[in-house]
Amino acid sequence: MEKYLLNINDLKVTIEDKEILKGLNLQIKEGETHVIMGPNGSGKSTLAYTLMGHPSYEITQGGIQFDGEIINEMKADERARKGIFLSFQYPEEIPGITVEEFLRTSKTSITGEMQKIIPFRRLLKTKMEHLGMDESYASRYLNLGFSGGEKKKNEILQMSILEPKLAILDETDSGLDVDAIKIVAESVMKIKDEKCSILVITHYNKLLEYLEPDYVHILMDGKIVKTGGVELANQIDEIGYENIKAEFSNI
């Protein structure tokens, strides 16, 4: 029997009584990189939020198994402690807590080990250097006044500090220039080396050139309608979703 890190089975999800995910299946093994592509509004972020445990997204059918446990009922903080990380498409601004304080609190909570100030600061500094982030960001309020690109980098910074088992990147590459995409990709590669599984939601192929995904899935109207390799991403890049749409409306 195959062992999956993440096993999503016939998942249906509604928000405000509207069904968005309509029977979605997805299996991810340890260390694998999966990509989800799909037109706007097809339910990609809904999937990401549901995996992370957003209380507004209601699971009406099916289950999410993570690391051998059904997590449907778990709150977001418990899921984080189990090793799920979501890089938000739209990260929130929280004045009052600095990036450093926040991440130290977060790491303490996730690892269950008190993070000492000095070693943590050293770790943070190294990771920020890798991402080409100025040190001063550590003492700024979380995401407050950050540009779109800076927010995305800050998400990846959090990912590399928290070292999850599954990292979900919801359009992390949107709003980044090519240099920034390369830098972000390098950080993702690093945690991938540590056997982290990656689920990338994206519209662009740039990030995929670096990440070499194992699978590419197409999400349409709340379901995964097609799965393939990188060639599928290239095909969409060239001709869009029209062909696939046509293919599936015929059935």
Ligand X SMILES: Nc1ncnc2c1ncn2[C@@H]1O[C@H](COP(=O)(O)OP(=O)(O)O)[C@@H](O)[C@H]1O
Q: Is 76 in the site for another protein (CB under 8 A)?
A: yes
CB of 156 to another protein, least distance (A): 13
DSSP of 17-50, one letter per residue? TEEEEEEEEEEE-TT-EEEEE--TTSSHHHHHHH
Region 93-112 residues binding another protein, contact defined as CB under 8 A? 94-97, 102-103, 105-106, 109-110
Q: Which is nearer to ligand X, 53 or 104 (CB)?
A: 53
Count of CB atoms situated within 10 Å of the CB of 193: 9
Q: Which stretch binds another protein (CB under 8 A): 37-45, 53-61, 114-122, 239-247?
A: 53-61
8 A C-beta contact, residue 14 and residue 60: yes
- Tokens 């928290």 locate to 162
| Count of residues near another protein by CB under 8 A | 30
Region 50-89 residues binding Mg ion, contact defined as CB under 5 A? 89
Region 39-78 residues binding ligand X, contact defined as CB under 6 A? 40-46, 56
* Euclidean distance between CA atoms 171 and 182, whole angstroms: 15
Q: Please give the structure tokens belonging to residue 7.
A: 């096993």
Q: Which stretch binds another protein (CB under 8 A): 45-53, 181-189, 210-218, 242-250?
A: 45-53
Q: Which helix (H) or strand (E) holds 232?
A: helix 230-239
Q: Please give the structure tokens belonging to residue 55.
A: 């209380």
Query: According to CB under 5 A, which one of 33, 45, 50, 154 is a site residue for Mg ion?
Result: 45
CB of 201 to Mg ion, least distance (A): 7
Q: Which residues, at least 6 apart from 180, have a Cβ–Cβ distance to it below 8 Å?
A: 132, 149, 152, 153
Chosen from Mg ion, another protein, ligand X, none, partner binding at 4 (C-beta under 5 to 8 Å by type): none
CB of 69 to another protein, least distance (A): 17
Q: For 109, phi and psi rounded to 5 degrees?
A: -70, -40
Q: Please give the structure tokens belonging to residue 248.
A: 């599936």
- Tokens 């999966």 locate to 34
**Residues forming the site for ligand X (CB under 6 A):** 15-16, 20, 38, 40-46, 56
**Residues forming the site for another protein (CB under 8 A):** 49, 52-56, 75-77, 79-81, 85-86, 88, 91-92, 94-97, 102-103, 105-106, 109-110, 141, 158, 162
